[in-house]
Amino acid sequence: MRLADLLSLPLVALWQQKTRTLLTTLGVIFGAFVLAASLSIGDGVQKTINREMRRVEFARRIEVSVSWGPAAPAARETRIEGTFNESRRQRLLKSQQEMSQRTRFARPKIALNQERLALIRALPHVEQVVPDVNDHGFAILENRSVNTTLCRARPDDETCKKRVVAGRFFESPAENAAVITEDLAYRLGVRSDAALDALVGTPLVLEFRAPKTEAPIGLYLANQNGDMTLETQQALETLMDRLPDSLEKLGLSTVAAAAIRGALKKPEEPTKPMPTTRETLTIAGVLRAPSDEELNAPHEYSVMHAGVLLPYETAAAVFFRGPDPKRKEGLNNASVLVDHEDHVKPVLAAIRGLGLEARAMVQFIDRQRLIYLLIFAGMTCVAAVALVVSAIGIGNTMFMSILERTREIGIMKAIGADNLHLQLIFLIEGAVIGVVGGILGLLLALAASYPGDSWVRSMVNRDLDIKLEDSIFVFPPWLAASVIAFTALVAILAAVYPARHAARIDPVKALRHE
């Protein structure tokens, strides 16, 4: 039998049974559509996740924090006074001990100090170690001072760069420079645009003082005066020193005076001058207040609201030079940037090996990928079921075709067609249905991807405020080839048994078949 006959006879047979062929092909089209859509979305979502994570560096970031231990033991033993039965005494004792424990600060097991930060910085594949420095102090410009908050910042912080209205942002993480806000400049007495521009390049003094006074009085004075200045702070310190000796002159009751005197009790050792440190930095630039859009976008609260921003290495050095002895215990948190996503887990394990707590977004991303993988695996299973049903339809179509063409098969055998030729005819019929169904299903998935992608983009933009740059539906060459090859294979396998059945038909009985 000629090759042309092997190709033309299957096509003629399919054309003669157009309705049956169409219904059988529709099943293949549906299965191919679901298969192509699931593979396209699965691959596209994975690529979108990787692309978005690389864009914002989430996948390469590790958040490090100290591991907290038990609080310091109580200065004195807890006692229960009075006459109680033993069980009540034990309950009261336990309650008092728990309350005492809650009022004392826990201590870190491993301090996140300069030495520990240096060890993290020396780990392989670590690009940046950004200590989480958030501090309070006094900003001094010429002869005017005001209390403010300062925070570390990264030189490549694009959001902060967009807020610069005078001067520039940092150029290196260890630059001896500061960037202040318009609001802080106003509080420091700057009253014109020209004066604001003239701040660039001038020295700014930051003064840090060890804590001595109680917060409520300090907050009260700050609220009354608008700002806590150095003069206000010094007046508050003088008040706190003189108040215990002046309580009798205030007309307070004996009980009230005793209570206040106990709260303000001076230490037995001689009072030492309050330790202070001063840091002089150059003002590199001035920032405007963040816009509503910038505040609604993912951001670090302290960076957006601090009055003074310092390069992160400079901020860490300033922090550890501070007067408060507690600073030597180290920071609570730091952020580590790894050079590539593949190296995050080894660095994560190394940091934990130093006795610190560490978390990485890659762990969350892996869980999300697993969820998506399960979803798309389920969709692929649906596609496989649809293709199995289609295979049953193809087999049924082949058997019906054999029954209707029994006499034709007998004639072809009588004129010299061998069993191989007959099997090839029916296998080609099945392959044609599979290939055509696979191509149409693939085209249908491609057509559906345009409205589907538009809907997903609008939903992500509305709910997450993220503008996706590329489509989440991808149709690489391997996907198209795989879908068409798989549907053709399923169709051919479905036609194997009918083809072998046709080849075993007795030609004599076939010629007598009506």
Q: Give the span between the Cα atoms of 282 and 277, in whole angstroms.
A: 17
Cα separation, 69 vs 355, whole angstroms: 12
Please report, in tens digits, the pLDDT of each residue of the chain (514 residues total). 566 666 676 677 677 777 777 877 888 888 888 888 888 887 787 777 777 666 667 778 889 988 766 555 555 566 777 888 888 888 888 887 777 665 555 566 778 888 889 999 999 999 999 999 988 889 999 888 898 999 999 998 888 999 999 999 999 999 999 999 999 999 999 999 999 999 999 999 999 876 554 444 554 455 454 566 766 766 776 777 777 777 777 777 777 777 777 766 655 554 555 678 899 999 999 999 999 888 887 677 888 989 999 999 999 999 988 877 767 778 889 999 998 888 888 999 999 998 888 888 776 666 766 776 777 777 777 777 777 777 777 777 666 666 666 666 667 766 666 777 777 877 887 888 888 888 998 999 899 888 888 887 787 777 666 677 777 788 888 888 988 888 888 888 877 777 777 667 766 665 555 5
**This prediction's pTM:** 0.59
Tens digit of each residue's pLDDT (9 = 90 or more) over 197-213: 999 999 999 998 765 54
> Could you tell me if 182 and 196 are in contact, meaning their C-beta atoms sit under 8 angstroms apart?
yes
Contact (CB, 8 A) for 392 and 494: yes
Listed residue (108, 123, 115) closest to 62, CA to CA? 123
What token pair was written down for 486? 């798989």
Count CA atoms within 13 Å of residue 364 on its CB side.
11
pLDDT at position 160, please?
Answer: 92
- The secondary element (H helix, E strand) that includes residue 181 is strand 177-181
Rounded CA-CA distance 257/355 in Å is 48
Spatial contact of 165 and 181, defined as CB atoms under 8 Å apart: no
* 132 CB-near residues (< 8 Å, 6+ apart): 152, 331, 332, 333, 334, 335
- For the chain, how big is the Rg over CA atoms in Å? 39
DSSP bridge pairs for 148:
137
Q: Is the four-CA dihedral 257, 263, 269, 274 of positive or negative sign?
A: negative
Structure tokens at 278: 């001063």
> Domain map of the chain by residue range?
3-56+365-512
Q: Is the dihedral of CA 263, 264, 270, 274 positive or negative?
A: positive
Sheet architecture: strand order including 61-65: 126-131, 333-338, 61-65, 357-360
DSSP string, 102-170: HTS-EEESS-B-HHHHHHHHTSTTEEEEEE--EEEEEEEETTEEEEEEEEEE-TT-HHHHHTEEEE---
Rounded to whole angstroms, how far apart are CA atoms 43 and 33?
15
Confirm if 318 and 278 have CB atoms less than 8 A apart.
no
Q: Are 64 and 120 in contact (CB under 8 A)?
A: yes
- Rounded distance between C-alpha atoms, residue 357 and residue 105, angstroms: 18
- DSSP notation for 326-350: GGGG-BSEEEEEES-GGGHHHHHHH
- For residue 299, CA distances in Å to 62, 294, 466 come to 16, 8, 14
Beta pairing, strands 357-360 & 61-65: antiparallel
In the chain, the largest separation of any two C-alpha atoms, in whole Å, equals 132
Mean pLDDT, the chain, rounded, equals 79
Contact 318, 280 (CB under 8 A): no
Cα-based distances in Å from 180 to 135, 228, 315, 504:
14, 18, 14, 91
Question: Given phi > 0 = left and psi -120 to 50 = alpha, else beta, which region is 201?
Answer: left
Residue 148, burial from CB neighbour count under 10 angstroms (0-12, 13-18, 19+): buried
